Amino acid sequence: MKKLVLDLDETLLYSTLEPVLPESVQLVAAGSTFYTTLRPGAKAFLEEMSRKFECYIWSTGQQVYLESVWNYIDVPGYTLWGREYCRKIETQSGAEPYEKPLRQITEDLSEIVIVDNSPAMFAKCPLNGILSRTWRGDMNDTELTHLRYYLDWLNTQESMQRDHQSWRLETLCLRSK
């Protein structure tokens, strides 16, 4: 089974300290309250992917946050990896101080792909990274629907390593056939 790594924040959901979105739910992690909203189609997407891939949620957030969110999402079959599995990057700005080294999951990079809204997370293995549009609450968003088609197609390929930059456009072409 091929391996799929999914980012959490601004890829699958949006969390804030204040209830800025009407659809948000109130959650608690380590005594702190926060508000989370799922990206449209997230739950169905996660359920479907868990049947097709060996799935990981890999977040730069704390493990307690990750577990609190996952208790709410409640889709089985996911391994949850928090910040302690990320590697710190030395940058001038410090804007994106982490990366997610996929070799911690497998040495065979042909069988793994990551979906993330931060390109820095997969900068060292760009052929394994699918860049998702950052999501902060647009309830008309259709990114996960497109992504589902693309990942289905990618799963049929011998190697999942490729130039994914035009994945959205390629998916539209696949779907129009």
The contact mask relative to Mg ion for 100-139 (x = CB under 5 A, - = no) is -----------------x----------------------
41, 66, 99, 109, 132 from 159: Cα distances, Å: 27, 30, 22, 8, 20
b/e for 113-131, b at 16 or more Cβ within 10 A? bbbbbbebbbeebeebbbb
Binder among 2, 3, 10, 81 for Mg ion (CB under 5 A): 10
Closer to Mg ion by CB, 117 or 161: give it.
Answer: 117
Binder among 2, 4, 6, 9 for Mg ion (CB under 5 A): 9
Closer to Mg ion by CB, 108 or 138: give it.
Answer: 138
Binder among 7, 54, 99, 111 for Mg ion (CB under 5 A): 7
- 91: burial class by Cβ within 10 Å (0-12, 13-18, 19+)? exposed
Binding site for Mg ion (CB under 5 A): 7, 9-10, 117
